[in-house]
Amino acid sequence: MELNSTVMEELFCIGREALSNSFHHAQATRIDVMIEYATNTLVVTSSDDGVGMDATTLAVFSKTGHWGLVGMKERASRIGAQLRCNSAPAF
């Protein structure tokens, strides 16, 4: 089954932001991305060996008007997806 072009574009932007965050903020040296695609399911998982996010940063995740994590969440919402963010130092 082919993905809708809007869905593909939003997923690309979410993935690009996730990678950018891993490189620039988490100081990661290793990033793993897994994509699972089935008829009614698409799961993209990104993990890295970076420093993780503190509670304050994760709290901003719920505020509007910011790009970064909030922008990723807003993009996911526009395509009917869910974005979950968990943080723990290293793998």
Q: Which has more confidence, 2 or 4? A: 4
Please name the residues in contact with 18: beta carbons below 8 A apart, sequence gap of 6 or more: 46, 72
Tens digits of per-residue pLDDT, 48-85? Answer: 998 887 777 666 665 555 567 888 888 999 999 988 87
Q: Please tell me the CATH superfamily of domain 5-78, with its number.
A: Histidine kinase-like ATPase, C-terminal domain (3.30.565.10)
Return the SS3 of 24.
helix
CA–CA–CA angle 33, 30, 22 (5° rounding): 75
Q: What's 37's DSSP letter?
A: E
So what's the pLDDT on residue 77?
Answer: 92
pTM tops 0.85: no
Report the candidate in 85, 81, 76 with the shortest Cα–Cα distance to residue 10: 76
Which pLDDT band, with edges at 50, 70 and 90, does 91 fall under?
very low
Tens digits of per-residue pLDDT, 3-46? Answer: 889 999 999 998 998 888 888 878 889 999 888 888 888 888 88
Instruction: Give CA–CA dist 19/31, Å, rounded.
Output: 8
Task: Report domain extents, the chain.
Answer: 5-78
